[in-house]
Amino acid sequence: MDKKVLNEVFHNLDRSFFLDGPCKDLASFDEPLPIGYGQTISQPTLVVAMTALLDPEPHSRVLEIGTGSGYQTALLASFCQTVYTVERIVELAEKARQRLQALGLCNVCYRTGDGSEGWPQEAPFDRIMVTAAAAIVLPALEEQMVRGGRMVIPVGPQGWQDLLLVRKTHDGRIFRESIEKVAFVELVGPYGWHGKREDTE
């Protein structure tokens, strides 16, 4: 993707539009902020860095797990063909949908529920962005990547995780690269810290 255009879109995207109440006034700080229901929006520099790392292309079909406020979704939707976004908290999903529709972003498909198994009906995906931390790389998501595809996912224990770039080569091999330390909220479900499958890898 064109990093110059990414920076332009990023600077034109008003983060306060994705926040409520007193947090709106803090939108310009490069800090994670609460979005309600115990969830947080990441700091803007991390959102833009993760988007650059995912490297969506105009024809890309992107799966996003953790719609949250819709801020990351808006950035992705500006650079790809379609975003398929999954959020488990109904209220957040509905608010995000309203915001993204108000911005005229029509290339977003929404699903409310657990994203741990990806979105099999729409798979495979060229890019996968996970914005909640998992105990391991989710097998279903790796399966739902096209050959030549990329996934960005925070993996590790509560507190600090490794932000991984997972690449599937054209002959189907998987490479995982640790990019930096990050702190995300939990991916709730079987692959979260409280899930049952933490010892399967």
| By the rule CB under 6 A, 48 interacts with ligand SAH | no
Q: Which of 61, 76, 79, 115 binds ligand SAH (CB under 6 A)?
A: 115
- Residues constituting the chain: 201
In the complex, least distance from residue 187 CB atom to ligand SAH, rounded to whole angstroms: 4
Q: Where are the alpha helices (DSSP H) in the chain?
A: 3-12, 44-54, 71-77, 90-102, 139-143
Whichever of 14 and 114 has its CB closer to ligand SAH, that residue is 114
In the range 131-170, which residues lie near ligand SAH by CB under 6 A? 131-132
- Is 116 a catalytic site residue? no
Nearest to 131 by CA among 37, 77, 197, 54: 54
Whichever of 135 and 166 has its CB closer to ligand SAH, that residue is 135
Tell me, rounded to whole angstroms, the distance of Cα 143 from its chain centroid: 17
Whichever of 126 and 186 has its CB closer to ligand SAH, that residue is 186
Size of the site for ligand SAH (CB under 6 A): 24
In the complex, least distance from residue 172 CB atom to ligand SAH, rounded to whole angstroms: 26
In the range 5-44, which residues lie near ligand SAH by CB under 6 A? 35, 39-41
DSSP 134: B
Q: Which of 62, 65, 145, 151 binds ligand SAH (CB under 6 A)?
A: 65
Q: Where are the alpha helices (DSSP H) in 55-198?
A: 71-77, 90-102, 139-143
Collapsing DSSP to helix, strand or coil, 61 comes out as strand
- CA angle, corner 165, sides to 164 and 167, nearest 5? 135
Calpha distance 128→149 (Å, rounded): 8
Calpha distance 163→150 (Å, rounded): 13
Q: Which of 56, 149, 156, 189 binds ligand SAH (CB under 6 A)?
A: 189
Whichever of 35 and 145 has its CB closer to ligand SAH, that residue is 35
**Could you give the residue numbers annotated as active site?**
42
